[in-house]
Amino acid sequence: MNYIAVVSFIVSGAALSGCATGQLPGNIYKGKYFHNFEASAFTPDGSDQPWCVNAEEMIKAREPGSKSGTAHAVVRGELSPEGKFCNLGGYKHILKVHEVIEVSNVRSAD
């Protein structure tokens, strides 16, 4: 009986410890975000190689109603290992964005 109580306590403590920090996974990335009807890409500052980016969280970096455009963004996310991603494998990485921290220079290309 005590064994079950101890195990339950340990499991609930482990589950709650992840919530206590409030820190989302990943690293901070700064760069240019581009989107259109076919693709979304993020090119880190100082690089000319775009990464495929999940568009769901990045909607915060778009001009409302815009079908295509760009913005400078600071995001927290996880970068994939090198591979072939999105649009016929045209990107070497995909950036899974967990949080859009800052957005500036939002421009619509419509």
CATH of domain 27-108: 2.40.50
pTM of the prediction?
A: 0.76
Q: Residues in the chain, how many? A: 110
> DSSP secondary-structure letter at 60?
G
pLDDT in tens, 9-41: 343 444 444 444 577 789 999 999 999 988 899
pLDDT in tens, 63-96: 888 899 999 999 999 999 999 999 889 999 999 9
CA distance 105 to 50: 18
The structural domains of the chain, with segments of one domain joined by +, span 27-108
